[in-house]
């Protein structure tokens, strides 16, 4: 193992006796084994302006930055290739790499601040900041383990963190996502993602978006706040998501949405997803608390609160200020929870249960919700409603409207 000390902020390649970051990475790539790159203390608060192309890491490497040290990709050529990335991790020999990047600011890449393009690698990012890149981190390969700890993702043009490929294992811990278009997007399939103790604030669109199939996501002790669209959105199929002690609040397009486009020319419906919510709070979202517009999804809400959400309909039917089960063949169970002070100009201030939907309310309280009809619960003609040991009171204009002869 060798230690390389970067002594200049210039982006150079062998032009003098000083050592640039580019030169240090080239030297580390040519050596077998895990090397370390550190920086001379005089580079605190300095900026390394990359020229022409980004930095490619092809061997195991640890980079330990400094406070305020920025690697800037503003001057990279925008050519829609890996040269647009600030850091690209690629195991050209197919041997798994161990790459760790600590305490760096990575900014203004035309493509990705950090891109993983090889399979079977271990990548860890700690205490770093991604500012103003197209994407902060992008996983463009399969079967990688990526851990992000104590890192900020601020104002990426597209995604803070995107997983484009399959079978990756991702952990995001103690991190913040601020003002990105989407914070965390899963486009690939069969990935395992854990989010622990992290905050998602003021994204232009969604906090977490699931576009792929078969992903497993666990979110613990985290917050999704003030998104321009939705806190968490399901666009794909067969994803499994568990939320524990999560707050989803003040999002403009709703707290959680299972999306559906039923236009005959472009039908896209989220199907067969599973969502379990434990000890969480969904409150004060416009567009409703939970909107289930897709089909054959299963939602379980346990020991949680859905409070103060508002769903305003513009034409059409439906409602559901707290929960809207408006798709087809969805199953919703609410257990030991409180649904209160939600509002809709449609039906079902607390819960709307629609086409062939199955709704079970067990040991729960539904109160002070307001709707056109069915202030507490509105169960449609084709819906199945089971209410067990629950208190449904003080809703306006009434507590339960049940139109189904089979409930």
Within-domain flag for 315: no
Provide the number of structural domains found in the chain: 1
Buried/exposed 310-320: b ≥16 CB within 10 Å, e otherwise: bbeeeeeebbb
Report the pLDDT value the prediction gives residue 83, as an integer from 0 to 100.
67
- Which residues are bridge partners to 177 per DSSP? 153, 200
Position 29 in a domain: yes
C-alpha–C-alpha distance, residues 178 and 14, integer Å: 38
DSSP codes of every residue in 273-309:
-EEEEES-EEES-BT-SEEE-SBS-EEEEES-EEES-
Contact between 333 and 299 under an 8 Å Cβ cutoff? The reply is yes
At residue 14, the pLDDT reads 67
Residue 63 located in a structural domain:
yes
Contact 285, 254 (CB under 8 A): yes
Residue 87 domain-assigned? yes
Tokens of 105: 């600011």
Q: How far is CA 13 from CA 8, 51, 268, in A?
A: 11, 11, 50
Domain that holds residue 108: 1-126+137-151
At 406 the pLDDT is: 57
Confidence (pLDDT) at 407: 46
Show the tokens assigned to 367. Answer: 């109160």
For residue 6, tell me if it sits in a domain: yes
329 located within any domain: no
Strands (E) located in 25-166 = 35-39, 47-49, 55-57, 61-64, 70-72, 87-89, 98-102, 105-107, 112-116, 122-126, 129-131, 135-139, 145-149, 152-154, 159-163
Extract the tokens encoding 338: 């409180």
Assigned domain for 10 exists: yes
Encode the chain (407 residues) as per-residue pLDDT tens digits.
899 999 999 998 766 789 999 999 999 999 988 999 999 999 999 999 999 799 999 999 999 999 999 999 998 976 655 569 999 999 987 889 999 999 999 999 999 999 999 999 999 999 999 999 999 999 999 999 999 999 999 999 999 999 999 999 999 999 999 999 999 999 999 999 999 999 999 999 999 999 999 999 999 999 999 999 999 999 999 999 999 999 999 999 999 999 866 455 555 788 999 999 999 999 999 999 999 999 999 999 999 999 999 999 876 667 999 999 998 999 999 999 999 999 999 999 999 998 889 999 999 999 999 999 999 999 998 899 999 999 999 999 999 999 987 54
Q: Does residue 281 belong to any structural domain of this protein? A: no
Residue matched to tokens 């999804």: 297
């Amino acid at each position: 193992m060798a230690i390389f000390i970067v002594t200049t902020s210039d982006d150079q390649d062998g032009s003098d006796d000083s050592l640039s970051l580019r030169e240090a990475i080239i030297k580390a790539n040519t050596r077998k084994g895990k090397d370390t790159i550190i920086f001379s203390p005089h580079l605190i608060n300095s900026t390394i302006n990359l020229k022409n192309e980004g930095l490619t890491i092809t061997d195991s490497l640890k980079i330990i930055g400094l406070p305020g040290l920025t690697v800037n990709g503003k001057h990279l050529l925008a050519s829609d290739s890996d040269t647009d990335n600030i850091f690209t991790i690629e195991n050209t020999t197919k041997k798994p790499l161990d790459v760790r990047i600590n305490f760096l600011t990575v900014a203004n890449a035309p493509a990705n601040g950090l891109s993983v393009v090889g399979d079977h690698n271990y990548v860890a990012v700690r205490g770093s900041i991604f500012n103003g890149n197209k994407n902060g981190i992008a996983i463009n390969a399969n079967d990688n383990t990526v851990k992000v700890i104590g890192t900020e993702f601020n104002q990426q043009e597209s995604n803070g963190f995107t997983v484009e490929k399959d079978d990756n294992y991702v952990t995001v811990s103690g991190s913040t996502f601020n003002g990105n278009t989407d914070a965390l997007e899963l486009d690939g399939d069969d990935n395992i993602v854990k989010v622990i103790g992290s905050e998602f604030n003021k994204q232009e669109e969604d906090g977490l978006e699931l576009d792929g199939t078969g992903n497993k996501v666990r979110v613990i002790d985290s917050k999704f706040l003030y998104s321009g669209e939705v806190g968490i959105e399901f666009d794909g199929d067969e994803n499994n998501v568990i939320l524990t002690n999560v707050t989803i609040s003040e999002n403009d397009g709703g707290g959680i949405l299972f999306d559906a486009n039923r236009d005959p020319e472009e039908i896209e419906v989220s199907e067969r997803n599973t969502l379990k919510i434990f000890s969480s709070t969904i409150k004060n979202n416009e567009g409703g608390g939970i909107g289930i517009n897709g089909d054959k999804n299963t939602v379980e809400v346990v020991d949680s609160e859905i409070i103060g959400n508002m769903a305003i309909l513009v034409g059409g039917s439906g409602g559901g200020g707290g929960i809207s089960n408006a798709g087809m063949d969805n199953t919703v169970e609410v257990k030991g929870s409180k649904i209160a002070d939600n509002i809709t100009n449609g039906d079902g201030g607390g819960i709307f249960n629609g086409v062939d939907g199955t709704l079970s309310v067990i040991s729960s309280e539904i109160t002070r919700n307001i709707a056109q009809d069915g202030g507490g619960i509105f169960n449609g003609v084709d819906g199945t409603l089971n209410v067990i040991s629950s208190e449904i009171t003080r809703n306006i204009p009434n507590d339960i409207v049940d139109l189904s002869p089979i409930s």
